[in-house]
Structure 1
Amino acid sequence: MTVDPRAAARRPLHLAVGGALVVATALIPSTESAAAPQESEVLLSYTCSFPSGTEEVAVRVSAELPSVVRTGAEIQPEDVTVEVDVPASSLRQFVETEAATFSTVAELTVRNAQGDESADAAWKDLKAEPVAVPAEGAAVVVATGDVPMVSFGSPGRATMAPAALSLDFTPLTAEGAATTPPGLAVRCEPTGGEEGEQEGVLGEITVRGPADPVVPGPATPGPAPLPEDPPPAAGPGLPPSVRERIEGLTERRLDALDDEPPASCPVEIPPEWVMTTAEAYAAGYANAAKLDGATALGPAFMKVVLNKRYIADGCASTIDVTSAVDFDHQGKRQLPPSRATFLTYGFMPTTATMTLEQVGDPAHVHSHTVTDSPAWPEETTITAQLSMRLSDVEVNGVPLDVGPDCRTARPFEQVLRGYGQSYPRFGYLVAFGGPLTGYAHIPPFEGCGVGEDLDAVFTAAVSSAGKEADNFTKMMQAPLCVATNPDVNCPPAVPKPER
């Protein structure tokens, strides 16, 4: 499918989430703590606007930061200190007002960046103990305090860099009385920087994915390492607090409506106002639980119809969106065939081509977003009906003729879930992609074998034991290329699969 740019002129795009960039740093907590703390420090030069004129001011910023964290894990800077050398010439006003001491409250803007994305955090209310106004020479103020947490949503290198600085001075006389004027507010900008940017970096942090370090696959044909199963209590790949916040906020908001149920909620927006088409790629791995290995999936091309149903419940502070997805490979509703080698029954090398074919209705995509949280947490469930077909089978290097229609006896349901938040953005969001994980129950096989019935062989080797959904799948979706916004993320990128 090719996005029709003419559609962009006809229909606006309304997705269930906003903001393409990280815009806040008040984050939900994580169950996984940061590791390997590092003492970080940077010495910077600022230009500050004092009543006496602009002054060059030396500022030293220090904090204890982790050196390595997982994606989505909270980072809490500790022992934060902002040390400012206040020049003697800028203290003349205090002398003229008969100030004997002055206290300081600092606010430092810190730019948290990863790749092309950044978010400015305000380190507010950093307080310094009163210091004496020197008769001559500079004064040194040391401001400390607690600062907001931050989190990064994808693996890679992340940085934290100081930007703009504000200083609020409160002078007092020797008797402790306020002076006239009672205070002085000073704005400082990094010397030589533009729009608050500067070269100095307080700390660099390595952000690792949930399954890192990744063990490379074998050079010779063989089973790929199994994808790492998510902790049951944590949900698919993100902290349990994401799911808990989504459920808690929704329930609390609905409970508050019991006394005064509104008459106008929820509001369902007509599809013609919001529905649009999109396309994306997804790639990943699927476990074959009995074979103790995994096979690659994709990259799978997806045709998407966004916002087939859009319910904005202002009373419950939620948005529920239903969309639809069809896979497309060379004009067929299927994922690209994938070839893998496994040790059948633990000792017999078996190579086969597996094709996942989509059957029935388009895959159902439902996202639930809570809007009364600054983070806008979102939960997404994708449900597809699939049939698995096997072909080109070799056992110990010898071809095994399974015929053209060796497949699962009935379709099976593949459910993938993603959890994330919009501000700052991490995890899975429909518009921007991310990790999706879930389990599937593989039915028995039928139609396998030419001249001999091999159904029982593949059922015993591949199909799920009992009724349990025991085959774990992890897919990475790339950002959507949307018809109404063809200048962004178009053509769609192919994501790198993660185990």
Structure 2
Amino acid sequence: MALAPLLPAAAVAVGTLKVDAALPYVCTLPSGPQPATVRITAAFPERVAPGEEIRPADVTTTVELPAAAVADLTALKAATVRAESRLAVGVAQNEQRAEAAWSGTAQPVGVPDEGPLVLTTTGDVPSLTTDTAGRLALTAGGLAVDLAPSTADGAATTPASLSVTCVPGPDAEGRTVLATIPVGADTGTGQPSTPPTAPTVPAPSASSSGLPLPPFPTDRAAPGSPRTADGAGGRAPRGPRIGQQTKGGPAAADEDAPGTPAPRPAAPPCVTEKPTPLSLSAYITGYSNVRKLNGANVIPVSCVLIEQGEPQFDPRPDGSFHLLTPSTGNLSYQGRKQTPPFKATFLTFGFAPATATMVLEQTGPLTVDSDVLLAFPDNISETYVRARLVLRVLDVRVNGTRLDVGPSCRTEKSLTSPEPDPAKHPGDHLVLLGKGQLLNGTDATGYVLTGGGPLTGEVTIPAFKGCGAGGENLDRLLTASISGPGNYIKQIQGQTCAVGVEVPTEGQCTEDHQPYVVPKPER
């Protein structure tokens, strides 16, 4: 019963409002802006009472991209393409406004010989609630589509992903309202029967057991006003809210809560420029062995910006029940997808001290796939983090003498790990695994996405290319010194900050919505 709010709606209640809207959009492709058609289907209850949950059902987003998109993919020698979509949906009631993110995924489809390319994504979307009477309108907004093309042999293309941004076209003006749902009995004029308050901004979080939950409203009562466990008491009815706080989930921070968090250590900026209700951020740091040099170097405290996916309830044929949460992310340092520069010192060939300044540079998607096996009283969590990262060398000094490696010294391809599911995740990429145990009613142990913890893996460092200056080729020297398999990695992720929270959670976010917890590396 406690997991009921996480389950996708399996059926539509009697008295439904079905939506089927085909809207003209303009999508920005590598070849330039192109017209596209976006079809959105969903089902809603025809009418709800104040405080009653509105859960969209049977939501699909179909994007029909023109022939130019097929040409862009054909130029990459793509045979299939997998799509993920994020549709911004405006929620308005009376004078109040909020925004929801409808995320969806699609199975890989073949790239046609000629256009158009039709991609249909499906997924669970956040529920809506409002305590105020009046008509609630949902409006289609901007759409982002991430394409992951693959060649005929299943390998990733170069580049490994394409990001397509779409906005309603000029012809869509006045047509983007998807549904208008009456809330309460007296909705003829659209005026509220009780004084509305500003809509709260939702955020993803975790329950005390570490289970990922849908976004929930985080509002605070005025200092000194009464409040109850369910947020009632001393409050006027609230405007539209996205998501639902599940029983056992975290309550909003209280100004009068005893104790204060420890001072936050210095850390690089970690700012989400355009947060959504599902945005998270966190710091990560740790060690990586370099087996050939018989040593380890510290990966510095680095910022990761995460877009959490909607939880999906997955019953298996063996009778087990799983909760799956797919998420995506990016490293972030001074506007680039990379770690801060870091130095490592080793004894090359066993006697010559060498210091190198390096960065890990993200060259493709970073995904976070969480799988929680629900088995009372213990829930077992496995989270796989996959990332395409190259190691770039900026500066090398051997026994104090600078070795000019030039501006383009890097591994010839991504760092590579053993992949447990190569058919689903082809190509060269790093794989880290975090395992956690979630005891009902207690905090999680090990790793969960929202709480952090240790992530471990093994990586092969590829050969180097582009190293050297003035006609001197240092590729073989660096490859002989560093490259090779069997390099153990242990990274520690800190507690995430739910960036979409209007008032940051004490101990999790700073006042300017950056992660409060800065982890320390562990061997």
TM-score in terms of structure 2 length: 0.43
Higher Rg: 1
TM-score in terms of structure 1 length: 0.45
Q: Which has the higher helix share?
A: 1
